[in-house]
Structure 1
Amino acid sequence: MWWLAVLVTIVAVVGAYATWTVARVERLHRRARAAEAALLAKLDDRAETVLKFVGNPGFEEVVALALSVVAVPADTQRQRELREYAENDLTHALRELAQNPVWTEDLESANRRVALARQIHTDFVRDAVASRSLPMAVLLRLHHRLQRPQYWDIDDPVQ
């Protein structure tokens, strides 16, 4: 009869561990999606900040790049790649204008917020991807059920 108690205990422990693992993996994936939404919001905010410089001499290229950033959604993989290219072009153009006297604290602040959001997103994606390879997650085939989070390949605006 003691073997039945041991078997029930083992099943309870494995079940609790499986439940904990599923909850952890799903939570990390939700956080990665939320961090991506926050990153996109900060990128849009930075583009809107740049659009305040419409009509200022020397900002024509940057304003055009900001318009292209705002115009590209990130719904499909192709749109995501286009958005990454547009964001990188905008970052490079903003770096070149950093010495311009019209440059304001708003742009510096927007760049810092983008850099922070990018780092947070990268950390959450790294953790979510790592959680997919946990033995229990593989056994429960969570990697097939949950969409794999993706990194945003954009330059760090604060360098």
Structure 2
Amino acid sequence: MLPAGWLVAAVFVAVLLTSWVTFTLTRLDRLHARVDAAQSALDAQLVRRAAALLQLGERPDSNLAPDTAHALVGTARAALAVQHWQQDDRRTVENQVGRAIAGLQAERARLPADAVTELAEAATRVMIARRFFNDAVRDTRTLRARRMPRLLHLAGRRELPLFFDIDDTSVFSDSPPDREPGTPPEHPT
């Protein structure tokens, strides 16, 4: 028989190990929930950006050339048609939307002011939402890559979340490109 000290130590180690596994499992579950929430937020912002582009392309007062407006409508509709979170399809379409919006920067002065504001806000919100999503994915992947969660299969059958990388470096701006940051806008006289 084991002395009472060894039995107490074994129980203590079992309780400690069970507590650690429970804590890690709970944390992993919360991280997956965070990824899901961030994915929903990112999806909503991507839809908002595509809808703003579609609205601009369909506006009769947009002052865009008909072929440009038609191209914007086609790009926006393609982005809105992607219904599931299909990584490769979604990246391709969203990069096209981003390039279409960035291409409008030169024509920004001719566009309606409310459309410029909406596109600028939507582009910025996509960039922020994508950062939140990728941060959540990074944290989840980091925890899942540790030895014990991997050996004990604490993630269960959940798929490993993937990063969502699109080119959102060229943010559409609602400020004129020719003025210095911090200087007030010029008013026409």
TM-score scaled by length of structure 1: 0.90
Q: Which has the higher contact order (CA 8 A, sep 6+)?
A: 1
Which aligned segments of 4 or more residues in structure 1 are displaced greater than 6 angstroms?
A: none
Kindly report the root-mean-square deviation, in angstroms, between the aligned alpha carbons of the 2 structures.
1.6
CA distance in 2, matches of 1:45, 1:88: 15
CA distance in 1, matches of 2:35, 2:133: 6
- Which one is further off, 51-60 or 100-109? 51-60
**Structure 1 residue runs without a partner (length 5+):** none
The change in CA–CA distance for 1:117 and 1:70 in structure 2 (over 3 A counts) is same
SS of residue paired to 1:108: helix
Decide whether the 8 Å contact of 2:49 with 2:122 is kept in 1.
yes
Q: What pairs up with 1:12-91 in 2 under 5 angstroms? A: 12-53=15-56, 54=58, 55=60, 56=62, 57-58=64-65, 59-75=69-85, 79-91=86-98
CA distance in 2, matches of 1:110, 1:38: 12
Decide whether the 8 Å contact of 2:50 with 2:77 is kept in 1.
yes
- Which one is further off, 113-122 or 45-54? 45-54
Instruction: Give the Å deviation of 1:81.
Output: 1.6
Instruction: Give the Å deviation of 1:158.
Output: 4.4
- Residue in structure 2 matched with residue 119 of structure 1 by the alignment: 131
Please identify the structure whose Cα radius of gyration is greater.
2
Confirm or deny that 1:6 pairs with 2:9. Answer: yes
- Which one is further off, 29-38 or 144-153? 144-153
TM-score scaled by length of structure 2: 0.77
The change in CA–CA distance for 1:114 and 1:157 in structure 2 (over 3 A counts) is farther
Identity percentage of aligned residues? 32
Decide whether the 8 Å contact of 1:47 with 1:67 is kept in 2.
yes
**Structure 2 residue runs without a partner (length 5+):** 172-189
